[in-house]
Structure 1
């Protein structure tokens, strides 16, 4: 019996070591755009489908933007996982204990701003070597010609974000208020 347990533990350790190769040595630039740079107020309820490898998680989000603040609450099964408030200078984050540490408030804010803020506002804050390309409902953040972040306008209410650095996909469906390409 001890040999069986030792064999199982060894298999689990090997599986843990072999699960994912190290990610690319690329860090996406932080956008941290002013709420007013969106150019209009926004209040929308959204359905999020997050895919990371074989894991799929469905979440609900409430997003509000006005000239002074971005407010976002993300819920799973009726429980709030994270609340974010961004005033253009400080990001305040309230997290539930059950929320995985991989869900970072800074990345969530950047995904929202990359998806919804005007391209010119994004281009203005990109560091050297990064470019934003936009065409036919697609938006791509590139470095040295390589696409690292992509947003696709799937239809009038749905956006798809693909993150090549952190290797995930996020579908954002607006339930009320619609999503539009600013």
Structure 2
């Protein structure tokens, strides 16, 4: 039974972390931002509960716990399923390092995780500066929208201020998934 629990955790994460099943191709490739940790503008330590639902997954949503640290030197993110660490990412603005459980599926893409974290949390002006031609970011109270040629491809709704505390919901129309993030500052 002890050996079964980490396997079940990874199966849960597989469904949670897979950005898109092979049956549903993205409609457009969202830009990779590659923003520096320093451009975040502050330091935070967060505990998060992530809930992921893909349009093609009838058994969704799936849940995952995460710890996130952002400071001027690096973004560090660790993901846990059923109490087992299944991946760790570290981004210093130049290199993305990752440690992953060997059973973590190839569909789990650390660059995609980094992109989503930056689209949700980085200041709008930093995101706008990194967007390729044809892409725009609109931001208003409690809402952020990524567009290409006037068409919405990604929307983020925030439940609080600062944007990394409380609930944030990312709806990715290009890759057909919804990510709900419940964040709170890490104690101690």
Into which bin does the TM-score normalised by the smaller protein fall?
A: 0.7 to 0.9
Matches within 5 A, 1:52-91: 52-53=54-55, 54=58, 55-91=60-96
Unaligned residue ranges in structure 1 (runs of 5+): 1-18
Structure 1 residues 49, 25: CA separation in 2 closer, same or farther (over 3 Å shift)? Answer: closer
Unaligned residue ranges in structure 2 (runs of 5+): 1-20
Structure 1 position 25, deviation (Å)? 4.0
* Cα distance in structure 2, aligned partners of 1:175 and 1:22: 33
Task: Give the counterpart of 1:34 among 33, 36, 44.
Answer: 36
Runs of 4+ in 1 over 4 A off after TM superposition: 19-22
* Cα distance in structure 2, aligned partners of 1:155 and 1:41: 18
Checking the alignment, whether the CA contact within 8 Å between 2:31 and 2:131 is kept in structure 1 is yes
| 1:176 equivalent in alignment to 2:185 | yes
- Count of residue correspondences: 160
* Cα distance in structure 2, aligned partners of 1:72 and 1:22: 27
* Cα distance in structure 1, aligned partners of 2:103 and 2:178: 21
Structure 1 position 82, deviation (Å)? 1.3
Structure 1 residues 21, 62: CA separation in 2 closer, same or farther (over 3 Å shift)? Answer: closer
Checking the alignment, whether the CA contact within 8 Å between 2:44 and 2:185 is kept in structure 1 is no
Task: Give the counterpart of 2:119 among 114, 120, 126.
Answer: 114
Structure 1 position 86, deviation (Å)? 0.3
Structure 1 position 154, deviation (Å)? 2.9
1:81-135 Cα shifts (integer Å, max 9, x gaps): 2110000000001111232322210010111111111000000010000000111
Checking the alignment, whether the CA contact within 8 Å between 2:142 and 2:160 is kept in structure 1 is no
Match in the other structure for 1:45: 47
- TM-score normalised by L of structure 2: 0.79
* Cα distance in structure 1, aligned partners of 2:138 and 2:34: 19
- TM-score normalised by L of structure 1: 0.82
* Cα distance in structure 1, aligned partners of 2:110 and 2:123: 21
Structure 1 position 24, deviation (Å)? 4.3
Task: Give the counterpart of 1:143 among 141, 148, 154.
Answer: 148
Checking the alignment, whether the CA contact within 8 Å between 1:47 and 1:175 is kept in structure 2 is no
What root-mean-square deviation, in Å, do the aligned CA atoms of Structure 1 and Structure 2 show?
1.9
| 1:166 equivalent in alignment to 2:175 | yes
